[in-house]
Structure 1
Amino acid sequence: MPTLISAQAPHSQSTAKDGPLSMHAEGTFDVKNAPLAADDALAGTAIGRYGLDKQFHGDLEATSKGEMLGAGNPATGTAGYVAIEQVIGTLGGRTGSFALQHFGTMEDNKFELIVKVVPGSGTGDLTGISGTMTIKIVSGKHSYQLDYSLPAAH
C-alpha cells in the first residue's frame, strides 16, 4: 500500500440547488490481508491473490471485505495491484453499502493509487453515491479521506 501525505481537511458540505450533495469524510481504518489460493484463472501465473478485511472508523463507521490481485516485486519497488471491496455501514449518518475499486502501481518506489466508488454500487441511504478515496499510511497507521456526492433528497 502506498504512503500518501496530505493535510487533514475539515468536514465540508455544499449543495447545488436540486443537485447532489458534495461531502467529505475522514477517519482511520484497520486492514488485514490474507493470501488466498490461486483459482483456475490464476493457476500457473505470477499473480498473487489476497482477501481484504477492513474496519473503518470516523465519519465512515463500516466493515468491508474484498479481494486484491497483485503482481510484481514490491521489494524492488515495482509492483501493481487491483482490488474491489464491499463497504457496509454508516457514512455521515446514512446507512447502506457501496463498493470501492482500487488501481495501484509502484515504480522506482513511487506510488500511484486511485480508489473510486463503483458507479451504481450504492444501496440503502447510499444509493447513487459517487466519489474518490485517498488512503494514507503514516507510521504504520492507515487513514482515509473520502470525497463523495449523493443525490439530493426529495
Structure 2
Amino acid sequence: GGGGTPPPVRRVCSGWGRARMAFLMDPADGEASNLSLVQVVDSTQGSNLSSLAWRRFPRELIFEDFYAVLEQVRDTHGLLCAERTEAYEAFELHRGAKGLGLVEVSRAVRWLGYPVKLGRLLEIFDESDLEDTYRQRDSEEFLRLLARIREDELRCVRAHMEGGPIQ
C-alpha cells in the first residue's frame, strides 16, 4: 500500500552519512520488524528532503530500499516538490535565451528570498557548472545551486541558534 498521510513518527532510525530515514514502529506489536518509511530527513538540516509518499514494507528494509530513497533525494537535489516548482518558476521568469547567467541567477535567487552576497553567489555559481558552460545555467544546475544556497543559509541559522556567530 502507500500514499496518504503517514501516521505520527514514533521512532527514528539513522542511515548513513547525512541522510536519515524516519520510520514508524507499528504500535500494535512494538517490533522493529514492522516499519513504515515516513520521510527522509537530513540530519544536518533537520528538514524534510522530499515529499515521498510513505509505504509499509512487509519485510525488513534492505539496501535496495534505502538506495531507492536516496536516489530520489539526489534527483530532487533535496528540495521539496513545492520548492522545485517555485525554483522552476523563478528560472523561467528570469532566464535568457541560453539559460541563466550570473545576473539572472542573482535576480532569481533574490526573487526566491535568499539574501546571498554576490561573492558567495559567484563561488556557488562556479561550483554548480557541471557542463562547463561557464556563464549559463540550465534548470538542473539552477536547482543544484539553490540547494547549495539553502544548505548555506540553514548552516548559518543553525550556528546562530547554537550561539555561534552569523557568517
- The verdict on a shared fold, with TM-score over 0.5 as the criterion, is no
Tell me the TM-score range normalised by the shorter chain.
under 0.3
Larger Rg: 2
Query: Relative contact order (alpha carbons < 8 A, sep ≥ 6): 1 or 2 greater?
Result: 1
Q: Which has the higher helix share?
A: 2
